[in-house]
Amino acid sequence: SQGMCFLGKINYRDFVRFHLGEARGDIVEQASGEKKGEHPGYWFYTIGQRHGLQLGGGPWYVTDKDVANNIVYIAHGSAPTRTGRRELIAKQIHWIAGAPEHGTLHVKLRHGPALVPCQVQMLAPDRAHISLSTPDPGIASGQHAVFYDGEICLGGGIIA
């Protein structure tokens, strides 16, 4: 929803419901596999989301989504555990001045100031395999990955 600021005063959930509809699915506690509730569609939730889950005994956090089976996974507590990923594929990459040579760059995932050292291996002109120096528990398909060499922005793509 961070990228939806163009909606203005339109409610995000109403916008998504209008365009994508609803499809009931399970909310499952990741650690136990226990069903904790139901949701109107995985597309209403983002990794790390805490508000809007409408579950008692919280706080609960969205830790993962199984898109194929319409399951939203959650964890309980102030610091939910989710195994971080060190690998990702970026697609639809646009390089400002051509693809860089293979090597160490920095990548910014999602919003926020953190730049993470990474290795970039081009798979195609607009697709790359990214290896992060440290695991990131919040990586989700559809988020943006922006690449830097120092303070110079080289380009970006979408996490597959």
| Reported pTM | 0.62
Q: What structural domains does the chain harbor?
A: 2-76 (2.30.30.280), 85-159 (2.40.30.10)
Identify which has the larger pLDDT, 50 or 118: 118
Tell me whether strands 25-29 and 71-76 are parallel, antiparallel or unpaired. parallel
CB contact at 8 A, 114 and 133: no
Pairwise CA distance, residues 43 & 65, whole Å: 9
Other C-beta atoms within 10 Å of 31: how many?
Answer: 13
Other C-beta atoms within 10 Å of 123: how many?
Answer: 12
Please work out, in degrees rounded to the nearest 5, the angle formed at the alpha carbon of residue 72 by the alpha carbons of 71 and 74.
140
Please give the single-letter amino acid code of residue 21.
Answer: G
**1 pLDDT band (50/70/90 cuts)?**
very low
88-110 pLDDT per residue, tens: 999 999 999 888 876 789 999 87
Pairwise CA distance, residues 14 & 19, whole Å: 9
**5 pLDDT band (50/70/90 cuts)?**
low
Residue 11: predicted pLDDT: 78
Please work out, in degrees rounded to the nearest 5, the angle formed at the alpha carbon of residue 104 by the alpha carbons of 134 and 138.
30
**Range of weakest confidence among 52-66, 70-84, 122-136:** 70-84
Residue 4: predicted pLDDT: 56
The number of CA neighbours under 13 Å toward the Cβ of 125 is 3
104-160 pLDDT per residue, tens: 899 998 766 789 999 999 999 999 999 999 988 778 777 899 999 988 999 999 998
Pairwise CA distance, residues 131 & 117, whole Å: 9
